[in-house]
Structure 1
Amino acid sequence: MYVLTSQQMKEIDKKATAEIGIPEVVLMENAGFCVFEEIKKDFGCLKDKKIAIFCGKGNNGGDGFVTARYLLEESKDVHIFIFGEEVTPSSKVFLQVLKNLGADIQKLNEEVITSLYQKKFDIVVDGIFGIGLTRDVEGLYKQVIEYINSSKAYVYSIDIPSGVCSDTGKIKGVAVKANKTITFMYPKVGNILYPGTHLCGKLIVKDIGIPKVLAENVNTKVLTKEELNLEKLYRYPDTHKGDYGKVGVVAGSKFFPGASILCANACVKSGCGLCFLFSPAENVVTHNFRYPEIILMPVESKDGIVTFEGFKKKEEFLQKLDVIAFGCGLTQSEETEKILIHILKNFQIPIVIDADGLNVLAKSEELHSLLREYEACKILTPHYKEASRILGCDVDDVAKNPIDAALEISKRFDCVCILKSARTIITDSHKVFINVLGNPGMAKGGSGDVLTGIVSAMLSQGYDALDAAKLAVYLHSLSADILLERKTVQTILPSEIIENLDIAFRRVIED
């Protein structure tokens, strides 16, 4: 499913009208009916329902006028509130229809808003702003939204809750908290990213008759099962471990021994043929928690941190690898930086860089340059803070527009970027996928290490970087969601996500 920015949706609307010849009033009529249809489906008989509809001056308000007309056929207690009669031409058509029908239309002012608190509405329809909002919400608009949020009515928002930026999901000062949002043709970015997606309540996408061919050039999609390449998950009977790749996990220290275990366990559980764990020798006791299938490659260390000289002694094994997973729990030491420089200078092996690999990358111009020139496929898996270090910006800047941040990292290093968050972004700088699976139970240390292991295993089985990233993110989140069917978000552990991968794989393959 495509995900659109406000500008993309406006251009599609414009083409539907100017090039295809569908009048704007027809699209508005269809949109308003779709909203009414959802209300009718939810409530059934509306005869005794008291309904308030708040309509802004743009086309979102016009959709509200159409909705009001249909609701007037069902209930005599429908009240339309407007901010003024200076509305768009198409909206004016439907405002006049309501006037001709003798509908109760009131212009909002402070006195009217104050009186609303004395009334009890069953249903509120929010048609104030829609997808065009760019400024902070102030004045009467702010007061109305505060009233809507204080009411105990069931709230429907048209296209997107008013006050939510449709391009980022951020709140422009104050925003409606809807029970259900009806958006048209395709979800908008603000419908999918937090906090906008939370304020949408249940999101419904309705077709209003715009030809789908007009969206063919959109490059952002929701990550669904239909977007996954499952071909390589099938295994022919006459195969052996060598057919599924050899992964070298370079990870761990005495400070973070569990990171290496989680990464390697996830890797071998996700189907790689052989998994080698390059980690400090003194962590052998901790490595008892690893799957016995993992081949331990003890690396000489100093103060519990792998050394560059110790790592070089394992070079003959590195040459046999198909994939390197680098960074989980290594620490941000100079030795970590030297090892990554050595790998990028002397090998051309697909590499997944996470955690401390990203942290040393952020501080080193030499690593920046080497990674840009590295010809084998590369996947970077930063969270917001790691992304901000790499980009040299504040973490709030990443949070404000994570899609742009992921795209910038992908372009800068010619890599696939997996920007991890509640809505993980995956991009190869051309296509963008937004993952909507997963739950707060994943918000625990170690979840990222598990993802790195899964991604590396997908690469080792022959997937290209983008397909590997998509499949890994999907399986990772799906496994956590399956756990939530029998556990709570507080008790889900990253190690359990690994153990539960067999069910996630089965659902993806068989459903």
Structure 2
Amino acid sequence: MQNIYNDVRVLDANCRQAYGLTEDIMMENAACALEQAVRKRLSQLSNKNVPIYILTGSGNNGADGYALLRRLTGTCTVYALALSEPKSSLCIEQKKRALLCGAQVLDDSHVNSLVSADGIIVDCVFGCGFHGTLDEHIASSISKANESASYRIACDVPTGITQDGTIESVAFCADETICMGALKLSLISDVAKDYVGHISVQNLGLNRTLFESTEKPLAYLLEESDLHLPLRTKNNVHKGSFGHAVCVAGSKPGAAVIASCAALRFGAGLVTLCGSVQNGQHLSLDADGITSAQNMSVPYDLMCSESFPQNTTALALGMGLGHDKELVQKNIQYLEEHPTVACVLDADICYEQNIVDFLKKASLSHRKVVLTPHPKEFAALLKVCGLGEYTVAQVVQNRIALVKEFCALFKNIVLVLKGANVVIAVHEENADCKIFINSFGTSALSKGGSGDVLAGMTLALLAQGQTALCAATNASLAHALASRSFSANFALTPFALINAVASLA
């Protein structure tokens, strides 16, 4: 996994003091990284003479652009397009050096050239400290760059993305972002996902481990290598060796059927659908939300029961449950009477007031609990927990702060906040809140039933004995990576996603 920081300018300053680096040295390394990205793109083109436009601002990001201009001048058809006059001392100096090398600097009257350009555009206008709204002429220039057929590279952070990961008006839409020194949280926001393209982190004159050693990260970005599938390594086992997962069926049992099938596919030895359903029973498409024509009835490889099995090891509650107060209380009471049963809480349960007392007790007892809400459900959960009323947009925009606040209230409870980039968090006793971000998900998962699949996969890992945090991270990674196997991203169904999990091994 990779470290994520909110503001790397502190790291920059620490490294200059600790290792004797100057801003000039670090800037030259930044320009070198940008040059490598540009030349790599040129090597992929049949026409090596395509125009390269470097959009420059007035600060140190603009200085990076002028340093890149100097390094490319004489070997490429390259221009700086100055959207602002240099103001910082380094920007003034780097422009002066580039001009001494014969570099071509155009003013913003040439901005219309961007639209017809079919080459490379490098965004060096604003960096990681940007906040507020772009002024009109810069916003217009960025929009024209986005209209171009050119390959677009962003220096550090695409212009228009604020330090908190929001976009007020317009932002540079990059095919590739060269992040300097360390990974910034602003690049991993849900909104930024459509603007950053492929992200790579480049060093500024010393290795990344040294650069990051002076500050504790805010969060961690999960990588594919962090996934640990529930592969079976022993032969002398039986179905009971891999746990008994139970999904509670409510007013819309289709959701519980999907979750149960996902749990069985992801390794649970036994899976029971608990509620008023029977094997072979046909479920109404309209009432139950089943989205796969191949599974319109309760599969025979699931067990069905109206009562909880005695050997239940993990239980999933909330998917399609509805808001029957008596049913909700019955299930909460079962969990309270069986403290060793791990649980996944999802969807409808997030709206229930009596979940608060259960979470408080589970927090104190260190019970294995994973919550898997999407932003609307998390907003409801925050409200019933007395943490405030938020719109979905506010939850998405302030997700890290809200996740930390929730986890501080319910220590040891693992929260999985779904979204374009999934946030997984837990605040353990005598420790800071640990935050992990899974960026592998695709738009293919924007389909009814995908969340039920995640709940079932998490349930399976809990049933097999994984810790709540391991179950949450492994299920989330597997869920997201399985979704990437579908090139026709509009066609993914829950059962197709469940079947794709088998291809991960």
Q: Same fold per TM (> 0.5)?
A: yes
Q: Does 1:92 align with 2:92?
A: yes
Which of these residues, 185, 200, 203, is aligned with residue 199 of structure 2? 203
- Equivalent residue, structure 1, for 2:425: 427
Tell me the residue number matched to 2:12.
Answer: 13
Which residue does the alignment assign to 1:438? 441
Aligned letter for 2:132? Answer: R
2:226 maps to 1:227: yes
Q: Is the counterpart of residue 346 in structure 1 residue 346 in structure 2?
A: no
Question: For 1:69 and 1:121, how far apart are their aligned partners in 2?
Answer: 22
**Which of 303, 314, 318 pairs up with 1:323?**
314
Matched, 1:136 2:127: no
2:40 and 2:127 map into 1 onto residues whose CA distance is 22
Match of 2:391 among 389, 394, 397: 394
Match of 1:264 among 249, 260, 266: 260
Q: Verify: 1:408 aligned to 2:408, yes or no.
A: no
Secondary structure at the counterpart of residue 210 of structure 1: coil
The change in CA–CA distance for 1:282 and 1:118 in structure 2 (over 3 A counts) is closer
Gaps of 5+ in 1: 299-313, 507-511
Over 3 Å counting, the alpha-carbon distance change for 1:77 and 1:296 in structure 2 is closer
The more displaced of 488-497 and 73-82 is 73-82
Deviates more, 1:261-270 or 1:495-504: 495-504
Q: Which amino acid aligns with 1:99?
A: L
Task: Indicate the residue corresponding to 2:460 in structure 1.
Answer: 457
**Could you give the per-residue CA deviations for residues 479-498 of structure 1, whole angstroms, max 9, x where no partner exists?**
2222x15xx22221101212
Report 1:305-320 matches (<5 A).
314=307, 317-318=309-310, 320=311
Which digits, 9 at most, give the CA deviation of each residue in 1:193-238, with x for residues without a partner?
A: 33322212333332333331342532522222322345x5333011
Q: CA 1:5–1:471 in structure 2 vs 1: closer, same or farther (change >3 Å)?
A: same
Inter-partner Cα distance in structure 2 for 1:441 and 1:118: 31
Unaligned runs of 5+ in 2: 284-295, 384-389, 428-432
State the alpha-carbon separation in 1 of the partners of residues 441 and 150 from structure 2: 30
Instruction: Give how far 1:166 is off.
Output: 4.2
Q: Confirm or deny: 8 A CA contact 2:56 2:80 kept in the other structure.
A: no
Structure 1 residue 35 displacement after superposition: 0.8
SS at match of 1:4: strand
Between the aligned residues of both structures, percent identity stands at 26
**Aligned 8 A contact 1:324 1:350 in 2:** yes
- Correspondence 1:164-243 to 2 at 5 A: 164-168=161-165, 170-211=166-207, 212-216=209-213, 217-230=216-229, 233-243=231-241
Quick one: distance in 2 between partners of 1:296 and 1:125?
Answer: 59
Which SS does the other structure have where 2:496 is aligned?
A: helix
- Give the counterpart letter for 1:427 in structure 2: A
Residues 283 and 259 from structure 1, CA distance in 2 versus in 1: closer, same or farther, beyond 3 angstroms?
A: farther
Aligned to 1:509: none
TM-score, normalised via structure 2 length: 0.86
Pick the structure with more helix per residue.
1
Mark the CA change 1:151 to 1:268 in structure 2 (over 3 Å): closer, same or farther.
closer
8 Å contact 1:326–1:354 — kept in the other structure? yes
**2-side partners of 1:470 and 1:31: how far apart?**
33
Q: Distance in 2 between matches of 1:471 and 1:200?
A: 25
Aligned to 1:289: 297
Q: 1:469 to 1:147 in 2, by over 3 A?
A: same
Distance 1:416 1:51 in 2: 47
Quickly say closer, same or farther: Cα 1:37–1:68, change in 2 above 3 A. Answer: same
Query: How many equivalent pairs are there?
Result: 475
Q: Which moved more, 1:410-419 or 1:126-135?
A: 410-419
* Equivalent of residue 160 in structure 2, options 159, 163, 166: 163
Alpha-carbon separation, structure 1, partners of 2:158 and 2:344:
38
In structure 2, the partner of 1:36 is 35
Residue 277 of structure 1 aligns to a residue whose secondary structure is strand
Counterparts of 2:278 and 2:115 in 1: how far apart (Å)?
A: 71
What is the CA–CA distance in structure 2 between the aligned matches of 1:481 and 1:122, rounded to whole Å? Answer: 29
Give the structure-1-normalised TM-score.
0.85
Quick one: distance in 2 between partners of 1:151 and 1:185?
Answer: 29
- Residues 265 and 290, structure 1, Cα contact 8 Å, conserved in 2: no
CA distance in structure 2 between the aligned counterparts of 1:377 and 1:369, rounded to whole angstroms: 13
Measured in 2, the distance between the counterparts of 1:78 and 1:113 equals 11
- Distance in 2 (CA, whole Å) between partners of 1:336 and 1:91 is 66
1:432-485 CA-to-partner distances (Å, cap 9, x unmatched) read: 222222322221111111111110110111211111111111111222222x15
Q: What is the distance in 1 between the residues matched to 2:238 and 2:476?
A: 26
Provide closer, same or farther for how the CA distance between residues 76 and 469 of structure 1 changes in structure 2, counting only shifts above 3 A: closer
1:325-349: CA deviation from partner (whole Å, max 9, x where unpaired): 1111110121233124413532212
Tell me what 2:53 maps to: 52
* Cα distance between partner residues in 2 of 1:76 and 1:282: 70
Deviation at 1:389, TM superposition (A): 0.9
Give SS of 2:4's match: coil
Distance 2:136 2:398 in 1: 27
What are the Cα deviations for residues 299-329 of structure 1, in whole angstroms up to 9, with x where unaligned? xxxxxxxxxxxxxxx36x35x3211111111
CA contact (8 A) 2:336 2:358 kept: no
Deviation string 1:156-196 (CA, Å, 9 cap, x unpaired) is: 2111210012432x213111122322222433223333332
8 Å contact from structure 2 (residues 5, 217) kept in 1? no
RMSD of the TM alignment (CA)? Answer: 2.6
Q: Which amino acid aligns with 1:66?
A: A
Could you tell me which residue of structure 2 aligns to residue 78 of structure 1? 79
What is the CA–CA distance in structure 1 between the aligned matches of 2:489 and 2:48, rounded to whole Å? Answer: 41
Residues 84 and 423 from structure 1, CA distance in 2 versus in 1: closer, same or farther, beyond 3 angstroms? same
In structure 2, what residue type is equivalent to 1:396?
A: A
Instruction: Check conservation: 1:131, 1:160, Cα contact below 8 A.
Output: yes
